[in-house]
Chains A and B, each alone.
Chain A
Amino acid sequence: MTHALEIRALTKTYKGGFEALKAIDLTVSEGDFFALLGPNGAGKSTSIGVITSLVNKTSGQVKVFGYDIDKKLEKAKSFIGLVPQEFNFSQFEPLINILVNQAGYYGVSKNEAHQRAEKYLKKLELWDKRDEPARALSGGMKRRLMIARALMHEPKMLILDEPTAGVDIELRRSMWDFLRELNQQGITIILTTHYLEEAEMLCRNIAIIDGGKIVEDTSMKKLLAQLTIETFVLDLKLAASFEELEAFAQQSEDIVYRVIDDHTLEVDLHKSQNLNQVFMQFQHHNIEVLSMRNKSNRLEALFVNLINQKSSADKSIQSNVVAGVN
């Protein structure tokens, strides 16, 4: 089976010696909706840069739909649509020209390019702005313009580097719907994002990169299954005093509660436990719950854990090395 993307032992060392990628391996199946997550400076954008030929790799192999970028770069490029992190279009050109020219770089005829530009500008609610220079657009509109531009040659794989950064919630959700629709049409999507909720909602598979290494590469389901404890925040009706709530929290043996104030409780729930047990305890003590929410996004909790584990392991190795040297 041909994979949309295969990366083997990819390294990138920048001038000055900074190792941005340390022999990473990654495979993305055709038709996948794939999340590449990592903290700032982890190597996400460098990886995308190498795949799209904006960054020269130091060593390793990258194949796009089976085409090695060292041997068939132009063929490999023809499959990729890129939505970069930063705005990278001419601020002075009208939207329609930006899109039609971009299609032209991929050999799409002018007539066809105009039809596609109309289709995507309408779909992304930018058609009314088609003759305005790009600098006149709002931040959200500029993001949508970059998505429209990336689709002009109808790529088989779309790479989005933080596409919803700085976009309001309503617009973000409409962009999610649009990306889901594209994925349903068969386009492989690789997404990097800082909004972990976004990755959890959209992606089927996920890789986490940190310090230039892939620290996790699995399906979203398997990753979320690793989450053993989930924390909920409960808003309570003011029926009890702070002291009474403290007493309630302390007497519970199997479930861990924390009293935040006289109407807010946090509860840590192990995956072997269920919410019914919590509510039974509340009912028993006549505590009324007004609302409940997750303290943090589930993926966020796992992500922080993974990055923290990695960081502690690195520190431990470092201190061992230092001890060894001394």
Chain B
Amino acid sequence: MRIDGKSEGPRQSMSWLHTWVGLPLGWLLFAVFLTGTLSFFHQEITVWMKPELHQSLATQPQAQQLQTAIDALQTRAPDATAWNINLPSNRQTATEISIRKPGDDPRDRRGGERLTLDSATGEALTARDTRGGGFLYRFHFDLYGIDRVIARWIVGFATLFMFVAIISGIITHKKIFKDFFTFRPNKGQRSWLDAHNATAVLALPFHLVITFSGLLLLMFMLMPWGIDAAYEGGRQDFFQAMNGRPVQQGQQQNQQRGAEQQREGMQQRNREGANDEARAANREAGERREQQAQRNGERQAGGERQANNGNREGRGGNGEGREQQPTAPAAPLGDLVAMLATAEQQWPNKTITSISVTNPNRENAEVEIRAQESDSLLSRGQQPSMKFNGVTGAVIATPEAAAVSIPSAIYNLTTLLHMARGADVALRWLLFLSGLLGTMMVASGLILWCVKRAPEQQAQGYKSFGYRLVERLNVATIAGLPIAIAVYFCANRFVPVGIPLRPEMEIKFFFIAWLISAIHATVRPHRSAWIEQMAIGAGLFFIVPIVNALTGGRALWSSIYHQQWTVASVDLACILMGTLLAWSVYKLQTKPAAVVKARKTVEKPVEKSLIQAEGQA
């Protein structure tokens, strides 16, 4: 896209496209990437942000933890319609139980009373009110303070631009593998370019998958036309067809549609009102129900979905579809510990985390045990589960899952990886590190835009408005957002417990810190703004683990000693972030002449051609 309209090679034009499709939404993409990367640990962050839960050390055998939980449930709510027990795992320190009383819908996953128990003593733990990692997780696709649908369109649009930027970037780099092994440090612009290339190429499959699946996760909103064309009832019918059930024709569809619209509204309200993000996994599961086409037929079947619809519809004024189960006669609950042992035998390599009991202490009691890691991301992506008769303890056979078609497999694999669902610790950390690389790729791309234009700006003797704007936005985003996140973590410990609207107060700190960083970036000279903000960010991230230890959380050495990885992961991730920021401060300080050097490089004819091919505007 040359100004003079002369012909240019495809790689030159792709380089132009790469630059100009990447820049306008680059800051948003940086924020989405960074908060999204941290969201791989959003459950861990939530636990970290509830230091009251750190005291629960899950060192006992699981059978003992389960017995403790059952004892607590039997004393608290022997007449409940359903119990759900989430045992401690590498993602949670304490035992979480939820109780559904008679009158609640037994299968509504969001309902019921929730309690957190010390896994050793069974004593209830009251944690502070916080949005925890859920705030960062929501921010990465819902942003904050604007309408959810508008926010998702904005993020979806940015995701498309990201995808275009990746593809055009790949076309620009013919010799992608040679590039990967080319890093010329301390060469000004060349180094930035190499850093951009290296971070891009090193995790290229990750970038492609995460971006494409980002689009797929929003596809029912961004691209509903295929589904609408094929299915009169829209999404609901499509889900049913994907689950291999015949689509019911007729008036029910319209009803379902209405119910769904209502449900959308409901969910939004639920979400806005909800504070307990520790249960985010469950909540997401509910959301996946709407987002994910391919479902586990048995458990999440249409029947349940309809029951849910009915329930919500009922709240909207129409009680149809609500399931009223007559109470079965009382019967002693079977031995759950033995059932757990059976499940453990079945899955020797998996962590069992979730046990749910429907109709406990009744004749029709049923127990379902689920493992944390999924069998395969290709198939249902659902955690494996076993069902037992709750009185006799006999295994109830579950039907085989339907075969997965290729498009469903693609959809499942990419979206489940995106959400790190069913991922074990190693995969989660790999995703986290890839996400960090992606974040650094976006950041280095934005900085490269400036570095590349620095000689030109120097030649003209003043910085043009656009150039200054990009420079400042770069500082305010690339340095400002990490600062805001670190401040959010610290605010979690310094905002008094028990004040009204406490979670909102924490979020206020996040945005105030970000605003101050933006103002600072505007008033300070560019270089000083970088160094100062990166230094502050590094300092804050190093302080976070110390603050954690001093304000009631479990100190890093103790959490590592007791293998409480939920808490240790967050502290370690903060130290990693701090190290990255400190390293960039060091780099910035030891290289005062980076811009001049870049200028020298441009003087060389060969280098110049490279640079122009890379991203000439």
Query: A and B: real partners?
Result: no
Chain A residues within CB distance 8 Å of chain B = none
Chain B residues within CB distance 8 Å of chain A = none
